Amino acid sequence: MTTGARGQDTGTCFHCALPVPSDCFLIVDIEGDQRPVCCPGCKAVAELIRDSGMSRYYTLRDAPDPGVGRPPAETAEWQVFDSEEMLAAFADQNRDHAESTIYVGGMYCAACSWLIETTLRKLPGIESVDVSPVTHRLRVRWRLADAQFSAILAALARLGYQPQPLAPENATRPELVEQRMALKRLLVASLGMMQVMMFAVGLYAGEFPPSSPPRGAG
């Protein structure tokens, strides 16, 4: 892996593991090492992690997470979730507190959960954070007077993840939708393979013509 100097092979992005375009010369300094990144989004996220004192994330993770590394999100993009209607739909509330479950796209390992938990615990008003990389879920509880739902979602987005607030248990879970789509694709592929096999058997059975009668016969 090189530093992204012009004319050299830049390899893969230090943050997300995607290929670095040949015309991209972005680098980020992580603990004194110059690391190539593939886009301004990955550079911004890597610098956010570094400047937050959480560079240990890069040593804890099993491998870079492809696709994790998006342009930093502004809190304003998530402010719709601060309305009473949205909070009622996606959070359990009492007079002083709210608690919500968030599906976190792009979270794959224990290092991701450590990064998310460490980041959110630094936000004002956060009382508890429970992260599960196995189910891609985050359960967070906050004080309504000191924190906003939009700030929590924006913090996740700035780290490069894709937060999706979940409605109560009767809502369809995102990973189930993905599994059902994968099953449908498998069934379609299986039907297509069966058709190919039927044609192949037919062609194989018909490629030997009936034996010609012996010469002189008839």
Give the CATH number, domain containing residue 142.
Answer: 3.30.70.100
Q: What is the pLDDT of residue 152?
A: 94
Could you tell me which residues are beta bridge partners of residue 93?
A: 98
The one-digit pLDDT tens for each residue of the chain (218 residues) are 333 333 344 588 888 778 888 888 888 998 888 989 887 777 878 888 888 888 878 877 765 554 444 444 566 788 899 999 999 999 999 889 999 999 998 887 777 888 889 889 999 999 999 999 888 899 999 999 999 999 999 999 888 888 999 986 644 455 555 566 666 667 777 777 777 777 666 666 665 455 555 555 55
Residue 41 structural domain? 1-65
Please indicate, yes or no, whether residues 160 and 106 belong to a single structural domain of this protein.
yes
Q: What is the pLDDT of residue 67?
A: 45
Please enumerate in sequence order all residues whose Cβ is within 8 A of that of 144, keeping only pairs 6 or more positions apart, or say none. Answer: 93, 96, 97, 98, 125
CA 91 to chain centre: 23
Q: Which of 119, 148, 165 is the last residue of a domain?
A: 165
> What are the structure tokens assigned to 114, written together?
């450590």
Please indicate, yes or no, whether residues 50 and 99 belong to a single structural domain of this protein.
no
Other Cβ atoms less than 10 A from the Cβ of 14: the count is: 24
Q: What is the pLDDT of residue 70?
A: 47
Please indicate, yes or no, whether residues 104 and 42 belong to a single structural domain of this protein.
no
Q: Look at the chain and report how many structural domains it folds into.
A: 2
| Burial (0-12, 13-18, 19+ Cβ within 10 Å), 60 | middle
Name which of 66, 59, 79, 19 is nearest 160 in CA terms.
66
Q: Is residue 36 part of a domain?
A: yes
Q: Which of 138, 165, 192 is the last residue of a domain?
A: 165
Please indicate, yes or no, whether residues 61 and 79 belong to a single structural domain of this protein.
no
Q: Which of 165, 191, 207 is the last residue of a domain?
A: 165
Angle between helices 149-158 and 110-121 (to 10 degrees): 140
Question: Does the predicted model carry a pTM greater than 0.75?
Answer: no
